[in-house]
């Protein structure tokens, strides 16, 4: 509870028929602001008393309360304590109640997110240290590189996108840096297939990628796996043999699904 100066004529002019709930005079010594806020006109000034009870307030009443408190803040106070921004937040906490907003955006085709897409650049090598290179315009192969051949290794632009984000799985999209090519998963000859797909650079990357572009990245002991969101339990894989195409595999134990990831600038 605090004491502030008496209301002046300018402040009393703020009273209107729309704010009767806040400035209704029940007696010469008392002005009431609904049931949970009392303004007492005493000899030493005005005293505000806030109840701990919760009451439903209209938006007009909220605005009236804020304006009244702001007017009181602008007046000189004889005591050492003055109204601060935190005091307004205290009032609002009695009026508003925070509620969670639940929104399923994965299946909502009409949802558009304008937030910037976060991404990073990286290189991927399988557990045999084979590098990934672009051998044909639309094909990646895994092979060992050394010396000057290391510049053939592709750099991925990994974007963090919408999807089924959990504690151990992070939805990402993988593009070849400097090219309009994204890894995507499609059905070919009744089998899930990994391919490089050309896209419109004016539309990609975007926060909500089509599901065929999305991979659920899992990190296990400094190794990463990329599971297709379109085809669960199918992973980006390489062969045990040299210079074989990168493909979508079932993690049967014969193929390689674990990669090391090196971040680059």
Interval 244-260: pLDDT, tens = 999 999 988 889 999 99
Whose structure tokens read 């991927």? 124
Beta strands in the chain (DSSP E): 3-4, 24-27, 30-33, 37-42, 45-50, 119-126, 131-136, 139-143, 156-160, 170-176, 181-188, 191-198, 214-220, 223-228, 235-237, 244-245, 247-249, 259-264
**pTM, full prediction:** 0.58
Pick the closest to residue 94 from 50, 54, 35 (CA basis): 54
Cβ neighbors of 76 (< 8 A, separation 6 or more) are: 5
- Is residue 5 a contact partner of residue 46, using CB atoms and an 8 Å limit? yes
- Is residue 132 a contact partner of residue 124, using CB atoms and an 8 Å limit? yes
Residues found in the chain: 265
Cβ-in-10-Å burial (0-12, 13-18, 19+) of 69 comes to middle
Backbone angles phi, psi at 261, to 5 degrees: -125, 125
Distance of alpha carbon 122 from its chain centroid, rounded? 23
Taking 70 as the pLDDT cut, the residues of the chain under it are: 1-57, 74-115
Pick the closest to residue 237 from 122, 141, 136 (CA basis): 141
pLDDT at 54: 56
Sign of CA dihedral 200, 105, 121, 197: negative
Q: Which residues of 130-157 are buried (b: 16+ CB within 10 A; e: fewer)?
A: bbbbbeeeeebbbbebeeeeeeebbbbb
DSSP-derived pairing of the beta strands 119-126 and 223-228: unpaired
pLDDT at 105: 45
pLDDT at 97: 62
pLDDT at 117: 85
pLDDT at 192: 96
pLDDT at 28: 45
**Calpha distance 48→14 (Å, rounded):** 17
pLDDT at 63: 74
CA atoms within 13 A on the CB side of 172: 23
**Calpha distance 165→172 (Å, rounded):** 10
**Calpha distance 38→29 (Å, rounded):** 11
pLDDT at 7: 46
């Amino acid at each position: 509870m605090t004491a502030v100066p008496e209301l002046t004529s300018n402040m009393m002019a703020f009273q209107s028929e729309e704010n009767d709930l806040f400035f209704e005079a029940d007696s010469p010594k008392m002005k009431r602001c609904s049931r949970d806020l009392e303004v007492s006109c005493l000899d030493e000034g005005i005293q505000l008393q806030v109840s701990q009870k919760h009451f439903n307030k209209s938006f007009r009443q909220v605005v009236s309360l804020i304006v009244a408190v702001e007017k009181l803040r602008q007046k000189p106070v004889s005591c050492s304590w003055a109204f601060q921004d935190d005091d307004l937040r205290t009032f609002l906490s009695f009026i508003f109640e925070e509620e969670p907003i639940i929104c399923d955006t994965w299946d909502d085709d009409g949802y558009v997110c304008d937030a910037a897409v976060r991404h990073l650049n990286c290189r991927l090598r399988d557990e045999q240290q084979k590098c990934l290179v672009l051998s044909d315009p639309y094909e990646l192969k895994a092979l060992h590189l050394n010396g000057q051949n290391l510049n053939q290794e592709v750099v991925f632009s990994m974007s963090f996108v919408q999807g089924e984000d959990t504690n151990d799985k992070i939805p990402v999209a993988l593009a070849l840096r400097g090219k309009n090519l994204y890894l995507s998963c499609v059905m070919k000859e009744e089998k899930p297939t990994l391919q490089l797909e050309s896209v419109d650079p004016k539309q990609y990357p975007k926060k909500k990628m089509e599901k065929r572009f999305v991979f659920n990245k899992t990190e296990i002991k400094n190794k990463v796996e990329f599971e297709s969101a379109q085809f669960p339990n199918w992973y980006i894989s390489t062969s045990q043999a040299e210079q074989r195409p990168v493909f979508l595999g079932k993690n049967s134990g014969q193929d390689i699904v674990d990669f090391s990831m090196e971040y680059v600038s």
